[in-house]
Copies of this chain bind each other. A is one copy, B any other.
Amino acid sequence: MTNDTEDVRMRGFSRRTLVSVACRWIDEHCAPQLHEAIPLVSAPGRVLAEDVVSDLDVPPFARSAMDGYAVIAAETNGATSYNPIVFNLVGTSLPGEPFDGEISAGDAVRIMTGAPIPTGADAVVPAEFASEGQNRVELSQPIAPGKNVGRVGEDIESGTVILSAGRRLRPQDIGLMASVGQSTVRVVRAPRVRVVITGSELIEPGEERNEHQIFDANSFILQGLLERDGGSLESLVRTLDSRETIEKAMTGTGADVVLVSGGSSVGAEDFAPRILAEHGELAIHGIAVRPASPTGMGILGGRLVFLLPGNPVSCLCAYDMFAGRAIRQMAGRSAEWTYPKRRLTTASKIVSAIGRVDYCRVRLLENQVEPIAVSGASILSSTTRADGFVVIPESCEGYAPGTEIDVYLYDFSE
């Protein structure tokens, strides 16, 4: 599985690893993350680290499911709107302020939704079948025992597993944990990701630019992607193409994953692969995928390191194909893409080559797709003009017009 780690600078890759092999390497090296306890309010979207067991019945007391009158059900037999039965109105039970007496035959207690059922009562007649007077209430419908009463534990029984480890938490899951009194929850810790942007020509947006400088885009792309995938930015380092500073950024502790953008290929200034090979393991370097072939990955000091091409489209593709797969799994999520997938027809030819995977940006035309014309690895706008992308496998030369294919949409799921 491990490629040779010879110095490929200025000589090109002698062979490239298959995408499937790289993905398998990633899946085998995504060490499960540690857990952490966080407040419930921060937990939507996080992944549960352990089963949640309730130590409480919900509701913890019998409560009314309606606004109305709590009575002994048998006492309502025969009530109709022509012949209402008159009850003594002996008090009120409100949520948090129960009626503190006991009900006898012929008694009724005014009760609100959620209020405790008074001792002795076993049903609640809804307000619409009642007419209240001075210390009395006329009920115009009979009611069955247990009707409109929420019994103890009817939502959750004490001792049951209410949510299982591995679940990605939805808002209602958070509500359910709150309802059993839990104020924190143990979740999979978000992998801490360091982003190292290399390139002597790069400056930060907002800075004064001289003639031969360009603005760094990759740090913004990578930060957006890694946070989408459940990672958390540990630090962002922008550095010149200097071996010392790149080495320092790659070897420093504190992160679980290091993403290096730029200097990943076979140029004289491409230090990152050598640094990774010298300080750790450069497991894979050069992958049969366009436009991200100069991608590398390995392990350094227990951290996963991904060497991503500096060209922004290649960087996006390399992240999505490889680094994102690792980060999602370390965050406890599925390895799979979050992009919505649709089955669509090609409106024009999509060209690829046998032996490599192609990541082809496409535009939607009603229910068809066509490739984006300008698609060089440095043309970032091709990824913003595109509605999504198609992945063409190694075994395929491309698709003729009219072929049904899977399209991944860049869209948010709405």
Contacts and interface: CB of A to CB of B under 8 A. Distances in A.
A384 interface: yes
Copy tally for this chain in the complex stands at 2
Contacts of A183: 204-206
**Main DSSP-derived SS at the A contact region:** loop
A65 B312 CA distance: 12
Contact of A59 (B127, B178, B181, B214): B214
Nearest to A216: B178
Contact of A379 (B12, B97, B132, B155): B155
A10 B132 contact: yes
A353 interface: no
Which residue among A10, A199, A228, A333 has the maximum number of chain B CB atoms within 10 Å of its CB?
Answer: A10
Contacts of A399: none
Contacts of A45: 412
Contact of A378 (B67, B155, B182, B214): B155
A211 B60 contact: yes
B334 A376 contact: no
A393 interface: no
Interface string A306-348: 0000111000100000000000000001101110100000000
A61 interface: yes
B223 A41 contact: yes
Contacts of A414: 168, 333-334, 336-338
Given A60-B214, A266-B127, A172 B380 contact: yes
Nearest to A337: B414
A247 interface: no
A262 to B, nearest CB: 8
Given A96-B201, A174-B220, A338-B414, 7 more contacts: A12-B128, A97-B212, A127-B267, A155-B381, A172-B410, A174-B224, A340-B340
Interface of A: 10-12, 40-41, 44-45, 58-61, 63, 65, 67, 94-98, 110, 112-116, 127-128, 132, 150, 154-156, 162-163, 168, 170-184, 199-202, 204-206, 209, 211-225, 227-228, 240-241, 265-270, 310-312, 316, 333-334, 336-338, 340, 374, 376-381, 383-384, 410, 412-414
